[in-house]
Structure 1
Amino acid sequence: MPRAALYAATGVVAIAGAVALVANLVQGDGDAGRRGPAGAAGAAVSPSAPVSGTATRPASPRASASAPASATPSPSASVSAEAPATRPGTAAPSRRAPASGPALTVSTTPYFWDSPCDHAFLVDRSPQNVLPPPPQQDSVGWATAYGAVSANRQTVVLTVQGTGEETVVLKDLHVRVVDSGPALDWNQYVMGNGCGGGVDTASFDVSLDLGTPLAMPVAGQRDFPYSVTESDPEVFHVKAHTSGHDVSWYLELEWSSGDREGTLRVDDHGRPFRTSASKDASYYAYPLGSHAWEFVEGT
């Protein structure tokens, strides 16, 4: 055989061998990409890995190297992989709370009353320097402006709601006292006058005068645990009272959801609730049609 023909034949064999080697390497990468855990189709590719336009193209070695090393992908990884950030409109929105996010939310109303006569504030000012009583929805701003403290009793409303479809079990509600001292010697201002009292049928009673206050169900309401979801919230009335102390306090809500659990602090927007007994039974009222606070002698 001529030497030129021999060289040409040798070159064909070499090229064929190189093609076979490349094919084996690509097939090996595909096998490695299929060694993920069974049923983890949504999490086998990292959310940061490029998404192929064809179903047969294997993941690149770099993409595989950036994927988490965990043998069992977390639920949050599956959710994020199913909804790539590059195409947010193509996947149905998930209502499942991520493992790193809150499982529940609590909306707090620090001052609640069924009727204006049910609540009073202690204010360290004379009646000439105190504005008329506010409507209930403006009570936070009014109390903050004067440094007012709830007098004798305070009803706090908690609206608890899950952040997803998963059930969140509310295991217990604890009362934590930050500080307790003598009752404040301030003037008492009642938010209404001459009105009847309401009946609270869904509340927890808290005696702040006890060494270890407890949230006790009253009026036939059942005790904890409760459960909530995003579409099924719960509303709790916590009625605290004291007859001889100035008490700063907050609540802790103990919860669990699946393999997650925690304790959520509930307070007055970052500050403890504060309730103090009044110095006596006398108070100032603002009758309908009046233009000034009127003193009412205690009996």
Structure 2
Amino acid sequence: MAKPADQVKPPTINGDRPDLTSWVADNSAADPDVTTYSFTVSAKPGRTVTLTRAHTVFVRHAARSAQGALVSLHIGSSCGVGGEFRYFTTDLDDQSGAWVPTNDDAAQIHEQSNFPYVVKNDDPESFVLTAKTVDCDCTWRIQLDWTSDTQTGRTVIDNAVGRNFRTMGTGGYPRLAWWLDYTTHTWVTKRPTTPPW
């Protein structure tokens, strides 16, 4: 985040969960270096939609702050969601917003493909976008262009809670880390030994 490290505090805890939404808003926090986002597209029953293009649209593209902090908040383990995806990357330092097809090395999926894609109600497509930056403090969203019969349109995708994505390069920033201790319901600076840790 674009704030000196000595001014950064962890989120408040309501019950046994941190208030991350307020903390992000109050601190104007951003994803550090990389944002990964997945989404699925399908058509209404009886319709076929061709997805012609997806690209990054910048709301703000600025140089990252000279002062900042890289903050890690650890709130417990979680499980990922499986499935078949189309993998893409985008370089946020490049204002063209272009998406580049890639593969998922972690899952050993090496097939690459590119737009256009055809979707139906019972035949959706799922995508994973990895957006990276080194120097940018970028606020952005996804634009998906499509056609269906004689119609054409554009769908804007945000981060699913009504906000644009924000990603910021953090090279050279001091690092801060907190773990949520579920026994005391407090933040600690060393990994707890109690569950779920």
TM-score w.r.t. length of structure 1:
0.47
Q: Gaps (5+ residues) in structure 1?
A: 1-121, 295-299
Q: Deviations over 1:68-110 (max 9, x none)?
A: xxxxxxxxxxxxxxxxxxxxxxxxxxxxxxxxxxxxxxxxxxx
The yes-or-no answer on 1:292 pairing with 2:184 is no
Q: Which residue of 1 aligns with 2:125?
A: 234
For residues 126-151 of structure 1, the C-alpha deviation after alignment (integer angstroms, 9 at most, x for no partner) is: 57721389xxxx86565345432111
Identity of aligned pairs, percent? 25
**Alpha-carbon spacing, 1:281–1:129, altered in 2? closer, same or farther (3 Å):** closer
Q: CA deviation at 1:254?
A: 0.8
Determine whether 1:205 maps to 2:89.
yes
Which structure's residues are more often helix, by fraction? 1
Report if aligned partners of 2:177, 2:189 keep a CA contact under 8 Å in 1: yes
Tell me whether 1:177 sits opposite 2:58 in the alignment.
yes
2:121 is paired with a residue whose SS is coil
Q: Which runs of 5+ in 2 are unaligned?
A: 14-18, 104-110, 191-197
Larger C-alpha radius of gyration, 1 or 2?
Answer: 1
Distance 1:230 1:140 in 2: 33
How far has the Cα of 1:165 moved from its partner? 2.1
| One of 142, 150, 155 as aligned partner of 2:36 | 155
| Residue 247 (str. 1) matches residue 138 (str. 2) | yes
Kept in 1: contact 2:61–2:136 (CA 8 A): yes
The answer as to 2:11 corresponding to 1:131 is yes
Q: Of 79, 102, 114, which aligns to 1:218? A: 102
* Structure with higher RCO (Cα < 8 A, 6+ apart): 2
Instruction: Report the RMSD for the aligned CA atoms in angstroms.
Output: 3.2
1:207-232 deviation line (CA, Å, top 9, x unaligned): 01113131111113311111212222
**TM (normalized to structure 2)?**
0.69
Structure 2 residue aligned with 1:7: none
Residue 262 in structure 1 maps to residue 153 in structure 2: yes
Q: How many pairs align? A: 165
